[in-house]
Amino acid sequence: MTEQHPIVATPLPEGADRAYAKSIAFRYLIASTVILGASGILGMILRDSQAGAGRVPDAWYYAIMTAHGLGAFVGWGAFAVMGLAWWVMAEAGFPIRRFGKWMAEATWWLMVGGVFGVVVTCLLFKFGGSWVFLYPISLYGSGVWGKWTAFFFTFSVLLAGLAIVTWCVGILHTAVGPALGAVSKNPINRYFTSIGWGYLSPKRFATTGKGVPYAVIPLAVIALDMIIATLPLAVMLILLLVHTFVASVTVDPLWAKNILWWFGHPVVYLLLFPAVAVYYTLVPKKAGRPLVAGNIIAIGWAIAVTANVIVWAHHVYIDYPSGTIQASLNVISQPLTFSVTVVSALSLYSLFFTIFRSNYKWDTVGTALFLGLFSWFSAGLSGMINATIAFDQVVHNTLFIVGHFHQMALEGIGFAIIAATYAWLPEFVGKKLYSDRMGRWHVWLTFSLGTLNSIIWMYQGIHGAPRRYAVVPHHWNALNEWAVPVTVALVLAQLLFAWNIIQTIRGKGENREVRTWQQVAPVVVAKAVVVSGVVVAIVVAGWALGRHVGQTSAVAGTAPAASAPTTIGGGTVASGKTLFTASGCGGCHTLAAAGAAGTVGPNLNTDAPAFSKSVDRITNGGGAMPPYGKQLSAQQIKDLAAFITASSGGSDDSGG
């Protein structure tokens, strides 16, 4: 290894190439920010419903959960960083050539189409398979969604998957283009040059210039990996689509799970790695010094490009069916997963020490980047728990995971997107940022509230609270009320972001003053105190409110309807009908009056159970049926039984 001079990229000069990169990045950014707003509101509805404030019926809960997951992760996170990647390339001096432009356009349309399809199938047709829709759940809608809804949902996800592939092809085409300055004409050699191998072997991967700009490396790495990761998933999605017409075409569930995570792990890095490219580009600008990275960082990326596509099995640590090699795959996956963290450790070192003892600019962009780096560091540490088999058994599918990835995605990655928006949106539209002060408020509020939100989940999860439960079971609902004000304030804080963006685009911007730590230190400390105070006040107020709402809704739930048209045994038929649908009875039972066609349990139309039998079964369960005596009040059970008796023609043996 020979030590080279620090690499400082030369951005594209003003002209057609730079203008195109601006316009395409701007389009991606605006579309993804709109999706962020929508997904954020859905997320708040989910969290508050889970906490008992504004309960959403279960079927809607899981449909919203599916839309929120795909919307926030793919529609916001992935879409935004994919757009920013085009601009990072321009800042590194890499023009998007004609083929790359086709790919950039195709990606935008595929992504918009995919997100639209997901929104329609989830929010209009209640597809609720969750964003991983583990095969074969999309075929088992329990009467909530049917095969055509599953078909169009799968098709929409396929569109988003294809968007990822076209983006990757476009990025690869851009990265290995003439701007790379690679001496070799061999595309494979040029690819490895673009991921920084010239820093390790300058002769074999020779360049005419100083070497590949650091920010290009993560983009070229993930562009190759995501093609490898996405193609098997695309094949599986196509098989699922074919299954709609040819029922004999199925997929093995174990293969399906592995293929899903073969894609599902790298797709996390589809967000992280371009975010790293943003950090590599912006942090040196704010610090006024080149990225403190030596040749060693190329080793980190060499590990990453390989390990990224072979560590998927850490998502299935607690799957090891008899007679399969899954347990061995899982064991190998732990050291491999550990190895993929090396690139994060090295990048965090480089970025933090680029800031260290520099004249760092603590404006909105600088603050967002810095808080993002801390969040990435912190979420990376909790990620080590998930990566370890012995620990994963305790936190798998608990709210701990939800807390971890919200911290990582919303803050570790999200702050790179937010910083990039504040830094580059003004440049994209050729205007000044509306308000740097408002930007700093937005960033600090998002950081404190987002972190608090994650801490609550992690605390509940580490005590065993399951994830993807429409209602958190009573053992773990201790901190629930706290989540309500936090999520509401988190969403409200984004209004500052929206307003800043709108006013910037409208050209209402101010002259930005760039300040140093010395100038802002007292203000930052004062602000931290005020923000914490406001947060605590909101939390306490909201806690009281949440408690109040929880109590009143509990009362409302048990209160009998004022006017009772038909009653049997003290149960109201009309209330029972609503409850039948809301409690998901139709998932297992057929009952024509409720439009239910479940086949797991007895058909209530033919079984026509007597009133007392219904009350007993609902309360105590029986056979495969779980007891509902704890979830439903005595009155609710009577209502249900009354409805079942009345609509199925069962005998009224209530004696009243």
Restricted to residues 560-619, the positions that interact with other proteins (CB under 8 A) are 583-584, 587-588, 600
Q: Which among 334, 348, 249, 344 has a CA at the least distance from the CA of 291?
A: 348
Applying CB under 8 A, the span of 97-105, 156-164, 312-320, 552-560 interacting with other proteins comes to: 312-320
d(CA 321, CA 343): 33
Q: How far is the CB of 275 from other proteins (least distance, A)?
A: 18
| 635 touches other proteins (CB under 8 A) | no
DSSP secondary structure letter of residue 308:
T
Q: Which is nearer to other proteins, 20 or 125 (CB)?
A: 125
- Nearest-10 Cα torsion for 179, 182, 183, 188: -130
> Which positions from 496 to 535 touch other proteins by CB under 8 A, shown as an x/- string?
--------------------xxx--x--------------
Helices 98-123/58-70 angle, 10° precision: 170
Q: Which is nearer to other proteins, 398 or 494 (CB)?
A: 398
Applying CB under 8 A, the span of 205-213, 287-295, 441-449, 539-547 interacting with other proteins comes to: 287-295
DSSP string of 158-224, one letter each residue? HHHHHHHHHHHHHHHHHHTSGGG-BS---HHHHHHHHTTGGGT-TTTT-BSSS---TTHHHHHHHHH
Determine which residue in the list 201, 306, 358, 619 makes contact with other proteins, applying CB under 8 A.
358
CB 347 within 8 A of CB 279: yes
| 258 touches other proteins (CB under 8 A) | no
Q: How far is the CB of 6 from other proteins (least distance, A)?
A: 7
| 626 touches other proteins (CB under 8 A) | yes
Q: Which is nearer to other proteins, 34 or 137 (CB)?
A: 137
d(CA 633, CA 631): 7
Determine which residue in the list 362, 424, 482, 580 makes contact with other proteins, applying CB under 8 A.
362
| 620 touches other proteins (CB under 8 A) | no
Applying CB under 8 A, the span of 30-38, 140-148, 264-272, 504-512 interacting with other proteins comes to: 140-148
| 19 touches other proteins (CB under 8 A) | no
- Binders of other proteins in range 191-250 (CB under 8 A): none
CB 372 within 8 A of CB 279: yes
CB 229 within 8 A of CB 327: no
d(CA 116, CA 122): 10
Q: Which contiguous run of DSSP H or E holds residue 597?
A: strand 596-597
Q: How far is the CB of 408 from other proteins (least distance, A)?
A: 14
Q: Which is nearer to other proteins, 19 or 521 (CB)?
A: 521
Q: Which residues pair with 597 in a beta bridge?
A: 590
| 140 touches other proteins (CB under 8 A) | yes
| 412 touches other proteins (CB under 8 A) | no
Applying CB under 8 A, the span of 34-42, 200-208, 374-382, 538-546 interacting with other proteins comes to: 374-382
- Binders of other proteins in range 421-450 (CB under 8 A): none
| 411 touches other proteins (CB under 8 A) | no
| 183 touches other proteins (CB under 8 A) | no
Q: How far is the CB of 322 from other proteins (least distance, A)?
A: 5
| 8 touches other proteins (CB under 8 A) | no
Q: Which are the contacts of 94, defined by CB distance < 8 A and separation ≥ 6?
A: 12, 174, 175, 177, 179, 180, 216
| 384 touches other proteins (CB under 8 A) | yes
Applying CB under 8 A, the span of 25-33, 215-223, 465-473, 506-514 interacting with other proteins comes to: 465-473
Determine which residue in the list 136, 202, 232, 602 makes contact with other proteins, applying CB under 8 A.
136
521 C-beta neighbours (distance < 10 Å), count: 12
Length, in residues, of the chain: 656
Q: Which is nearer to other proteins, 36 or 395 (CB)?
A: 395
Burial 600-626 (b: 16+ CB within 10 A, else e): ebbbbbebbbbbbbbbbbbbeeeeebe
Applying CB under 8 A, the span of 25-33, 171-179, 269-277, 323-331 interacting with other proteins comes to: 323-331
Q: How far is the CB of 606 from other proteins (least distance, A)?
A: 20
Tell me the residue type at 299: I
Q: Which among 602, 639, 605, 649 has a CA at the least distance from the CA of 619?
A: 639
| 345 touches other proteins (CB under 8 A) | yes
Give the pair of three-digit tokens for residue 43. 């997320």
Q: How far is the CB of 260 from other proteins (least distance, A)?
A: 11
Determine which residue in the list 122, 240, 316, 365 makes contact with other proteins, applying CB under 8 A.
316
Give the pair of three-digit tokens for residue 479. 């901190």
| 374 touches other proteins (CB under 8 A) | yes
d(CA 4, CA 201): 12
649: exposed, middle or buried (C-beta count within 10 Å: 0-12, 13-18, 19+)?
exposed
Determine which residue in the list 466, 533, 557, 649 makes contact with other proteins, applying CB under 8 A.
466
| 134 touches other proteins (CB under 8 A) | yes
d(CA 531, CA 537): 10
| 144 touches other proteins (CB under 8 A) | yes
Applying CB under 8 A, the span of 74-82, 221-229, 455-463, 640-648 interacting with other proteins comes to: 455-463
Locate tokens 């999605």: which residue? 237
